[in-house]
Amino acid sequence: MKLLRYGPSGQEKPGLLDASGTIRDLSGVIPDLAGDALSAAGLAKLAALDPASLPAVPGSPRLGPPVSGMKNFVCIGLNYADHAAETGAAIPKEPIVFLKSLGALCGPNDDVMIPKNSVKTDWEVELAIIIGSTAKCVSEDEAMNHVAGYAVCNDVSEREWQIERGGSWDKGKGCDTFGPLGPWLVTKDEVADPQDLAMTLDVDGVRMQDGSTRTMIFGVRHLVHYVSHFITLHPGDVISTGTPPGVGLGKKPPMFLKPGQTMKLSIKGLGEQTQRTVAYE
**DSSP states along 166-179:** SS-GGGGT-STT-E
Domain check: are 94 and 24 in the same one? no
pLDDT tens digits, one per residue of 46-67: 999 999 999 999 999 999 999 9
Q: Encode pLDDT of 245-264 as tens digits.
A: 999 999 999 999 999 999 99
Which own/partner pairs from 15-19 qualify as long-range (CB within 8 Å, at least 24 positions apart)? 15/57, 16/46, 16/51, 16/54, 17/184, 18/51, 18/52, 19/51
146 with 202, same domain: the answer is yes
Same domain, 34 and 124: no
| pLDDT (average), residues 25-37 | 98
Q: pLDDT category, 168, cuts 50, 70, 90?
A: confident
121, part of any domain: yes
Q: Is the pLDDT of residue 154 over 80?
A: yes
Q: What are the respective helix, strand and coil percentages of the chain, to the nearest 5?
A: 20, 30, 50
Rounded to two decimals, the pTM is 0.97
Residue 62 lies in a domain: no
- Averaged confidence pLDDT in the chain: 96
Q: Are residues 9 and 142 in the same domain?
A: no
159 to each of 14, 74, 173, 174, how far by Cα in Å?
35, 18, 9, 12
Question: At a CB cut-off of 8 Å and minimum separation 6, what does 206 contact?
Answer: none
CB atoms within 10 A of CB 12: 22
Structural domains of the chain, count: 2
Q: Is residue 135 part of a domain?
A: yes
Select from 159, 120, 113, 130 the least CA-distant residue to 263. Answer: 113
Cβ neighbours for 127, distance < 8 A, ≥ 6 positions apart: 150, 152, 153, 194, 197, 199, 213, 220, 240, 241, 267, 270
The yes-or-no verdict on residue 86 having pLDDT over 90 is no
Q: Is the pLDDT of residue 266 over 90?
A: yes
**Domain assignment of residue 65, yes or no:** no
- Residue 167 confidence (pLDDT): 76
Neighbouring CB atoms inside 10 A of 247's CB total: 24
Please check whether residue 67 is in contact with residue 38, taking contact to mean a CB–CB distance below 8 angstroms: yes
Range of the domain at 38: 2-53
Burial 98-108 (b: 16+ CB within 10 A, else e): bebeeebbbbb
Q: What is the DSSP letter of 94?
A: S
CATH of the domain at 111: 3.90.850.10
Residues 40 and 146 in one domain: no
Q: Average pLDDT, stretch 181-192?
A: 98
Are 81 and 217 members of one domain? yes
